Amino acid sequence: MKVCTKCGIEKPDEDYYKVRPDKPWRRSVCKECHKAYQSERYHADIELHRKANRIYAENYRKAHPDELRAYRRAWMRKRRSA
Ligand SMILES: [Zn+2]
């Protein structure tokens, strides 16, 4: 048994993920808390990526208005001929 450093609840060793499959070491945070942390991180990352992408696209549009117009025109032409 060991106490999770996150929720403070004492749980059996099986409730902790192993640090490495070939070693007996286990994480100090229980599986439940670890999963919650992972999904929290995942969603935070998605938001961050979305925001970064949006800012990048916006900056790109502002920096290369002619390029974008040319690209759009080429794309329209390709669509029309298809
Ligand atoms: Zn926990």
- Burial readout 38-77 (b: 16 or more C-beta within 10 A, e: otherwise): eeeeeeeeeeeeeeeeeeeeeeeeeeeeeeeeeeeeeeee
User: Looking at residue 79, what is its pLDDT?
Assistant: 87
Q: Ligand 1 center to residue 45 CA distance, Å? A: 22
User: Looking at residue 22, what is its pLDDT?
Assistant: 94
Residues 82, 75: Cα–Cα separation, whole Å: 11
Per-residue pLDDT band for 81 (boundaries 50, 70, 90) equals: confident
Q: What is the pLDDT of residues 16-55, one digit of tens each?
A: 999 999 999 999 999 999 999 999 999 999 999 999 999 9
Segments forming the whole domain that contains residue 72: 2-81
- What's the total number of domains in the chain? 1
pTM above 0.95, yes or no: no
Q: Ligand 1 center to residue 58 CA distance, Å? A: 41
